Structure 1
Amino acid sequence: MARRLRIQYPGAWYHVSNRGHRDEAIVRNDIDRRRFLETLGETCRKSGWRVHAFALLTDHFHLIVETPRPNLVDAMKWFLGTYTSRFNHRHGVGGHLFTGRYRSQLLDAATPGVKARAAAYLHLNPLLDGAVRTLGDLATFEWTSYPSYVGDGAESVGWLERAAVLADAGRRDDAEGRIAFRRDTEESMASRPLESWDEFRSGWQIGSEPFRQQLLDRLESVRTPEASGKVWKESAELQAERMIQSRLAELGWDEAEMGRRSKTDPEKLSIARELRRETMMTIRWLADRLQLGARNTLRNALSASPAGDVFKKPRAAKVNRGVGSKKSSLPPRPIAPPPSTPAQSFTVEPGWD
């Protein structure tokens, strides 16, 4: 099975979650719950993590984590491994405690509301999971960070960071701010349909479109033919789309003109050949995007090309469009992030988990 890497950079924010192996319990009693939080605190001290919210349920957990250093993979390996060892030793069992791969979503911490919305989802989890019956009960459910946000502060564990989420919600970290935060949170939870939380159940990032584009831009240097997962699919599509737009601009076409052209138009087929050489997009994707008909239509058209088997050529072939035409252009360099989006320098973790 192809493995997927984690995106890491200094100051990254993540929504991290994991479930018990075969949906079994990861905590059996309050001693386990305290041990889980103690181990999380140790992870913060060792790694420099800043935990902004957490939710611990019987068979799964959620965290909102900020990593001042790009060390999500190493710290999660230590955290999950250490807690599993302690749990197994205490209960006299062995083997896996968690599912094989934890989920991590990058959060766009620069976009207002993202941090507060993510924390609200975590704090709502006991109600979604059936651990409590009403919104009011969430404030006394001690195995999330919510009581620390809305109480007098005495309930807070030492490593929990509240200020950033409260500020994102427009509240101060004082008694008045916590009361207002509880009111705002519970009103938002009561008014939002359950499906509105689905963004935290799937996907690899949550935030603005410029944030997503910036991440995809910088992933180009590490994408390989073996790469898999949603993030890589989006990265490959972005590269292909840029090549298409470059060729359309060169031809003086717009999308409507491409649609008016026949399914066997030489220029459209030329674009398809270039994309097959330079990207990892499938025949199905090319046929749909370039309006070239069914997959077999495109496959047959390319196979009939006098250039031969274009898919095996190691270098791009020149396309003759007549007198004065230009050579097919390479995809443009990755664009810089828009001025409204703070530039973030990040590295991609070279290891796989």
Structure 2
Amino acid sequence: MPRSPRIEYAGAVYHIMCRGDRRESIFADDNDRRMFLATLTDACERTGWRILAYALMPNHYHLVLATPRAGLIDGMRWLQTTYTVRYNVRHHVCGHLFQGRYKAIPLDPDDPGRLRILGDYVHLNPVRARLLPPSRAGLPRPEAYPWTSLPAILGRAPRPPWLDAARLPAASGLTPPAYAQYLRKKAAEIQGADEGAMKLLAAEWQEIRRGWALGGEDFRQDLLKRVGERMALRKRESYSGQGPCDCDVLRARSLLEKGLAALKLSLEDVRSRKTTDAEKQALVWLLRTATAVPPVWLCDTLGLGHRSNVSRAVRAMQAPADPVRSGLWAKMLRCKD
């Protein structure tokens, strides 16, 4: 089955999330939660990981995880396998505990705005799930939920050696007490939000929930290069997801520039030509046979109209009796090198 490629490198920061199998609970009681944090401690000692934030929910967990040295894949394999074994032994059960692959979204470590939003998302998870104990008076207190990193960050619980407690308050430009008050106000907004307000919050968190990278354009371009390097090690069909698709587009644009230079044309010239134009069809053949961009992208970029013109162009370029297209075919073939 095709999968999104894992991107790992020294200095990376990730949002990690994994659910229980069939969305069932991964913690039977508080002792299981303590066991998970003990296993996380072991994993951090093995890998050198730093944890910026975490939240243990009934059927899933969140980590904001920094890797000073590359080691996401092996470390996560060890963490989830070891916790599963320990859980199964403790409860006298067998089989899978987690549902499929964990989600690992890279975050630009130099983007404090996105780090703040991600920290809010993780620490306010219990608020959205209505897991906070009742507040006697005043604002709701997210730090009252004991199974996130927030109590330790605020100095109200023991601080594990692997927790980077300063990073999130610093990203918000706040001292720990001010950071606590900031999150309490956000929690009150969530608890009192109507449908419209929740849609606004959902829009703010859309990139976290559905994106493949959390960062600006320069960061994404750097990641695409890393994705391309990793995809080169296996067949394109082995990968899926938005990252590989964006990588396909990046390669297609590069090849298109080479093809246009070989034909001494501009993109505007090509778009204005008929769909049966030989040089236009040569570019279609180049991009269709050398990349995995979808036909709709080719149609929009080259001005092809209906997607059926893509397959027509490819067939026309493969006609052996056409000397014009045979010459263009040779030019396009050199662009692939």
Shared topology, TM-score over 0.5? yes
| 1:298 equivalent in alignment to 2:306 | no
Specify the alignment match of 1:218 in structure 2.
Answer: 226
Contact 1:12/1:68 (8 A) holds in 2: yes
Specify the alignment match of 1:228 in structure 2.
Answer: 239
Q: Return the offset for 1:309.
A: 11
Contact 2:49/2:162 (8 A) holds in 1: no
In structure 1, list runs of 5 or more residues that go unmatched. Answer: 172-176, 311-315, 333-353
Residues 268 and 304 (structure 1 numbering): CA distance in 2 closer, same or farther, change over 3 Å? closer
For 2:266, give the aligned amino acid: W
Q: Return the offset for 1:50.
A: 0.5
Contact 1:287/1:295 (8 A) holds in 2: yes
For 1:70, give the aligned amino acid: A
Aligned-partner SS, 2:237: coil
Q: Return the offset for 1:278.
A: 2.3
For 1:238, give the aligned amino acid: L
| Alpha-carbon distance between aligned partners in 1 of 2:305 and 2:321, rounded to the nearest angstrom | 20
Residues 185 and 242 (structure 1 numbering): CA distance in 2 closer, same or farther, change over 3 Å? farther
Between 1:223-232 and 1:36-45, the stretch displaced more is 223-232
| 1:140 equivalent in alignment to 2:140 | no
Moved over 6 A (4+): 326-329
1:260 is aligned, of 272, 296, 316, to: 272
- Superposed CA offset, 1:298-351 (max 9, x none): 3123313364499xxxxx975299xxxx9787479xxxxxxxxxxxxxxxxxxx
| 1:119 equivalent in alignment to 2:119 | yes
Residues 126 and 179 (structure 1 numbering): CA distance in 2 closer, same or farther, change over 3 Å? same
Specify the alignment match of 1:183 in structure 2.
Answer: 181
Specify the alignment match of 1:343 in structure 2.
Answer: none
Structure holding more helix per residue: 2
Contact 2:51/2:163 (8 A) holds in 1: yes
Q: Return the offset for 1:185.
A: 3.4
| Alpha-carbon distance between aligned partners in 2 of 1:85 and 1:327, rounded to the nearest angstrom | 54
How many correspondences in the alignment?
316
Q: Return the offset for 1:261.
A: 2.2
Contact 1:44/1:159 (8 A) holds in 2: yes
Residues 327 and 234 (structure 1 numbering): CA distance in 2 closer, same or farther, change over 3 Å? closer
For 1:253, give the aligned amino acid: S
Specify the alignment match of 1:162 in structure 2.
Answer: 165
Between 1:278-287 and 1:90-99, the stretch displaced more is 278-287
Aligned-partner SS, 1:289: helix
In structure 2, list runs of 5 or more residues that go unmatched. Answer: 190-196
Contact 2:142/2:183 (8 A) holds in 1: no
Matches within 5 A, 1:1-353: 1-132=1-132, 136-149=140-153, 151-171=154-174, 177-187=175-185, 190=189, 193-223=201-231, 224-230=235-241, 231-248=243-260, 251-255=264-268, 257-305=269-317, 307-308=319-320, 318-319=327-328, 330=335
- Superposed CA offset, 1:25-56 (max 9, x none): 10011111111111111111111110110000
| Alpha-carbon distance between aligned partners in 2 of 1:209 and 1:116, rounded to the nearest angstrom | 18
Contact 1:303/1:309 (8 A) holds in 2: no
For 1:140, give the aligned amino acid: A
For 1:50, give the aligned amino acid: R
- Looking at both structures, which has the greater relative contact order when contacts are Cα pairs under 8 Å and sequence separation is at least 6? 1
Contact 1:242/1:331 (8 A) holds in 2: no
Specify the alignment match of 2:192 in structure 1.
Answer: none
Q: Return the offset for 1:254.
A: 4.5
Percent of matched pairs sharing the same residue: 36
| Alpha-carbon distance between aligned partners in 2 of 1:70 and 1:280, rounded to the nearest angstrom | 29
Contact 1:50/1:67 (8 A) holds in 2: yes
Q: Return the offset for 1:84.
A: 0.8
Residues 327 and 294 (structure 1 numbering): CA distance in 2 closer, same or farther, change over 3 Å? closer
| Alpha-carbon distance between aligned partners in 1 of 2:106 and 2:281, rounded to the nearest angstrom | 38
Aligned-partner SS, 1:165: helix
For 2:142, give the aligned amino acid: L
Output the TM-score relative to the length of structure 2.
Answer: 0.84
Q: Return the offset for 1:155.
A: 4.0
Contact 1:19/1:60 (8 A) holds in 2: yes
Residues 251 and 328 (structure 1 numbering): CA distance in 2 closer, same or farther, change over 3 Å? farther
| Alpha-carbon distance between aligned partners in 2 of 1:93 and 1:238, rounded to the nearest angstrom | 47
CA RMSD of aligned residues (A): 2.9
| Alpha-carbon distance between aligned partners in 2 of 1:45 and 1:183, rounded to the nearest angstrom | 32
